[in-house]
Chains A and B, each alone.
Chain A
Amino acid sequence: MTQTSTAPARPATLFDDPQQSRARRILGSFKGPVGSISATLVVTLLIGLVWVGPSFLSPSNVQIVGVSVAIPLIVGVMASFALLAGVVDLSIGSMVGFGAVIFNQLVAAGLDPWLVALITVVVGAVVGLTNALVIVKFGAEPLAVTLGMLTLLRGLCQVIVVSAPPSTLIDPLYNVTQGAILGFPTLLLIGIGITLIAAGVVSKTRVGRKVQAVGGDDRAAARAGISVTTVRVIALMVSGMGAAIGGILYVGQLGSASNVLGTGLEFQIYAALMIGGYSITRGGVGNPLGGLLGLLVVAGITNILNVQFFDPDYLDLIVAIILLAAVLVDRFRGGDSFE
C-alpha cells in the first residue's frame, strides 16, 4: 500500500532535498496519515474476517465493495485537488446529481451519448469555473460559495426532474460500470488507476508541489512566483469535472437519475478523505492514496454492517467517531490546533 515510497528514488533535480535512505522514507511515510489509516484499514479487515468469516474476502463480496466504492473514489480523488489547493468544494454531491440528471435526460431525449457526456463534463467545468470566479476573483469564503452552489444545483435537479426520471441503458457504459476484469470490478480498477496517477502527480511532479504550496500558504506561494489564481481555478474545475464524470458513471450503474441522486455524497466523500489525511479547512495536506484508504475503510465498515444485517444508521455513527479520532490524531501529530 505504499507504492509511492517504494518507487526508485529519482535524482533530486527539482529540489535539493537531501536524499534519505529508503528504509527511513518508508518508515517516515507510515508515521504520517497514510500509515495510521493503513492500520485502521487492517483493523477493519481483521474485524470483518473475524466477525463475518472468510466469506468477507470472497470474490463476490470484494466485487460488491469495489462497485460501491469506485465512483465515490473517482469523484473524491478529483475533488481532493481542490482540498489540496485550500478551497473546499461542497458542491460536488449536487454536481454528481446534476451531471447525472442532464446526462440521463439528454440521452433519453435521443442525443448521442458521447456528445452528451462531453456536454456534461463541460457543464461540470463551468460550474467549477463559476465557483472559482467568486472564490478567487472576489475573495469569498469557499465554504459559503460552494454551499450556495450545492443548493442551486440541487434546486435545478428538482426543477428538471419532477416525476419519475426516464431510464436509459447505454451498453458500453453499463459494461464499464458493472463489468469485471479477472474478478475485479472494472470501474474500481479505473478508480485505482486514477488514484495512482493523482498520487504520482501530487508527490512527484512540479504541478503537485505547486498545488500543495498554494494550499499550505497562499501568500508565501504567491511570493514564490506561483499563480494562486490559476492553481485554484484549475483545481476547482477539476473537482467539478470529476463530479460530472461521477454523475455519468452513476447513470451507467443505475440506468437512471433521480433528483435526489448524490444528496449528502459530499459529506461522505469528505469524511472519508479527512479520515485519509486531508483537511477541509486547510490545504496543502493529504495524499490521494490516503483518500483511497479512507474510502476503503468506510466501504469496509458499510459492508460488514450490511452483511450482518445491522441498521445502516450505525455506519454514520461509526464514521463520525473515526473522523473525530482521525482529526484528533492529526492534531497530535502537529496538525492545526483550534483555539
Chain B
Amino acid sequence: MTTSLITAADPAATPEGPSGRRRPDRRGPAGYRDALSIAAVWLLLIVATTIVRPDFLSSQTLLAVTFTMSISGILAVAQAIIVISGGLLDLSLPVALVFSAWATVTALNNGLPTPVAIVIGLLAGAAWGGLNGVIVVFGKLNPIIVTLATGFGGLAVMLIFFTSAQIPSGSDLRLYGLGRFLGLPNIFWPMVIVIVVAGLALHFTRWGRHVVAVGGNAQAAKARGINLRRMRLATFIGAGAVAGLAGVMFSAVTPSFTAGAGAGFQLIVIGAVILAGISLSGGKGNLLVLLLSVGFLATIPASIAFFGLPPAWALVFQGALLIIAVGIDGYRLKRTAR
C-alpha cells in the first residue's frame, strides 16, 4: 500500500483542500459504514412506502427502479472515476451521453451492423472524454470550469446540428433495450458489470491504484514517478468510454431523443457519487457503495409516486438528501482530522 506514505509526505497541499482533513485510511470501516447507512436508509424508505401502500412491493416497482438505476448507474461510474482520480467533477457528462447515443443511432441508421454501431458509440464517448482531458491537461485548467464550458458549448453544437435522433425501431439494439433478462431490464446488467469491473479495477490493478494515488495527492504521486499527464488523459478517456456505454444503453431504450435529453441525469449522477461518500477532494471511494446510493436515489421517485405526491417532490427530497449527506460527510472528515 502506498497510500499512507503519500498522505504522510504531503508538504504542498492545494490551498482549497488542506491535507490534514483527508483520512489516511481510505478503505477501512468508513466504506462499510457508508454502505450500511445507505442500505439502512434505503430499507427504511422501502418499508415506509410499503406500510402506506402495500402494493409498492411489486415486480412493476422493481422494473421501474432498476430501469432508472441502469443509465444513471453507468454514468455515475464515469463520474466516480473522474472524482476519485482528483478530477473534481465532470459537468459535461450529459453531453457525453447524448453525443455517443447520437453517434450510435446515426451509425445504425446508416446501415452499419450493431456491434460496429456500439463500438462507434463507445469511441464517441471516449473522444468526448479525450477532448476534456486534452484541454484540462495541456491547458492546466480546472476540470470543473473546463467541463462547465465544454458542457454548455457541446450542448449548443448538438442543438445546432441535430434536433432529434431516432433509433431504427426493428434494430437489434432496440430489441435488446426492450428485453428482459432474469426478470430485470436487459440494460440493468451492463450497469452491474461496469460497477463490478470498475470497482475491482480500482482496487486491484496497477492502473486503479495509480488513479487513487493521483486523486489522493497529485504532487506526491508525481514524485513517485507516475506520469500525471498520461494518467489524467487516460482517466478522462476511460470515464468518457464508460459514459459512451451509458449513451449506447440510452439509445437502446429511448425511441427518440433530443440534444438536451441528458440534462436530467446531471443531478442524480453527482448526487449519487457524493452520497456514496466519494469525496470531491479525490482519492477515496467505493463503487459498491455507489451502487447502493444509485439504487436509493432511483427508488425515491417511485416512492413519491406511491405516496401520491407530485413528482416534483422527488427533486426536493433528492436535494435535501444531498445537503444532509455532504453535511454529515464533512462533519465526519472534520472530526477525524482533530
Contact = CB atoms under 8 A, between A and B. Distances in A.
B159 interface: yes
Interface in B113-155: 135-136, 139-146, 148-150, 152-153, 155
Given A153-B319, A217-B15, A280-B145, A148 B326 contact: yes
B255 interface: no
Interface stretch (B32-40, B186-194, B329-337): B329-337
B157 A317 contact: yes
Interface of A: 86, 130, 134-135, 138-141, 143-145, 147-159, 162, 217, 219, 267, 270-271, 274, 279-282, 311, 313-317, 319-321, 323-324, 327-328, 331, 336-339
A315 B155 CA distance: 11
B307 interface: no
Interface of B: 15-16, 18, 21, 88-89, 135-136, 139-146, 148-150, 152-153, 155-157, 159-160, 218-219, 222, 228, 267, 270-271, 274, 279-281, 310, 312-323, 326-331, 333-334
20 contacts: A86-B16, A134-B323, A135-B330, A139-B334, A141-B280, A141-B281, A143-B144, A155-B316, A156-B312, A157-B312, A162-B310, A274-B145, A279-B145, A311-B159, A320-B149, A320-B153, A324-B141, A327-B139, A339-B140, A339-B222
A247 B263 CA distance: 23
A328 B315 contact: no
Contact of A319 (B88, B152, B281, B318): B152
Contact of A317 (B89, B156, B334): B156
A327 B136 CA distance: 11
A316 B323 contact: no
Nearest to B18: A219
Nearest to B143: A338
B15 A282 contact: yes
Nearest to A160: B312
A121 B331 CA distance: 29
Contacts of A86: 16
A331 B155 contact: no
A324 B15 contact: no
A314 B160 contact: yes
A151 B271 contact: yes
Given A138-B331, A315-B156, A339-B140, A159 B310 contact: yes
Contacts of B333: 139
Contacts of A141: 274, 279-281, 326, 330
A151 B318 contact: yes
A141 B320 CA distance: 15
Contact of A327 (B18, B145, B218): B145
